[in-house]
Amino acid sequence: MLFQLVVGNSQDCVPFKGRWNYNNKKLFEPVRIERWAIVNFSARCDMSRISRELINCGRTKGIIEGPYSLVDEDNQARRCAPIVRVERMFEKVKANLPGPPEFLLCVLPERKNCDIYGPWKKKNLHEMGIVTQCIVPSAKMNDQYFTNVLLKINAKLGGMNSKLALEHSRKIPVINKIPTIILGMDVSHGSPGRSDIPSIAAVVGSRCWPLISRYRASVRTQSPKVEMIDSLFKPLDNGKDDGIIRELLLDFYTTSQQRKPEQIIIFRDGVSESQFSQVLNLEVDQIIKVVLGTYLAWETFSGNVLFFFTEF
């Protein structure tokens, strides 16, 4: 079957009525987490229950054991500004763990557009380099919910949830025979009416060729409401390139036995018909500057670049 996945223990996973079901299935390559914690910004949350059900679900997937610590926010801290609340929470995490955590699960307050989310993500990812996953307490926190959370956690930590059954076969020679990197690109914007919030450009690139189910992500902020990604190629004053494409191409090279990609397949989402030509001109031009320039410290790229627009 074309759309068949392989999960843990070489078990097949087949979609049913357009849905993938991971119930009673282990992850293909789970990442074991030992030094981690659950931090709770919610005043009305049963953190012990969340921890218990997440662990029970995680054990069936082969990914997670009990957290090293459960860290509740002080009642007084809840009256402080979001940045102060985040800083105080990190002080408590440091006091409860013997070293830097591998991962932090963050329980946010029970409301949409929580003002804790931005400062928390910035502190973890930008300043501390800690992988984090945020959840919001809900009545729908069942086994399916925690399975979806664990799939995100495992992918963020470098694990592999599943792989396409055809990856090592000859049925997709366009990828198997030629070192090929697959890129997926999209831009997320702030909610309507919020022109002050930067847009987020995200690109994922395949790695460990000939696998096509393992990806690395690269994220940049850009001007609000701008759909065209302007950081694919980002030349610096010192002559180097700090853009997304170079980052992902070098990652492909180092994880694929020093094989240089001879083919680039790009899937671009979120572009309206009126923007096709503008996106092509700007983004493809940036990609060409990277692969045909000297920024990669290898010979000039002479392969194919295939650009697909996707609409959902």
Q: Region 256-281: what's the mean pLDDT?
A: 85
Question: Omega of the bond prior to 210 within 30 degrees of 0, cis?
Answer: yes
Scan for tokens 């979609």, then name that residue. Answer: 15
pLDDT score recorded for residue 257: 92
pLDDT attached to residue 173: 76
Q: What is the mean pLDDT of residues 65-92?
A: 88
> Mean pLDDT throughout 87-114?
87
Model pLDDT, residue 41? 93
* pLDDT of 168 higher than 90: no
Query: What average pLDDT does range 268-278 have in this prediction?
Result: 81
Average pLDDT, the chain: 85
pLDDT surpasses 80 at 241? yes
Quick one: pLDDT at residue 295? 55
**pLDDT band at 278; cut points 50, 70, 90:** confident
Asked if residues 141 and 45 have their Cβ atoms less than 8 Å apart, the reply is no
Give the pLDDT score at 297: 58
Task: Determine whether 275 is exposed, middle or buried from the number of CB atoms within 10 Å of its CB (0-12, 13-18, 19+).
Answer: middle
Q: Rounded to whole angstroms, how far apart are CA atoms 254 and 224? A: 34
pLDDT at 272 over 50: yes
Contacts with 259 (C-beta within 8 Å, 6 or more apart), sequence order? 179, 209, 253
Q: Over range 75-104, report the average pLDDT.
A: 90
Name all domains of the chain by residue range, CATH numbers in brackets: 5-156 (3.40.50.2300), 168-310 (3.30.420.10)
- For residue 312, pLDDT over 70 is answered with no
Alpha helices (runs of H) in 81-191, residue ranges in sequence order = 82-96, 117-121, 143-156, 173-176
Highest mean pLDDT among 147-156, 188-197, 288-297: 147-156
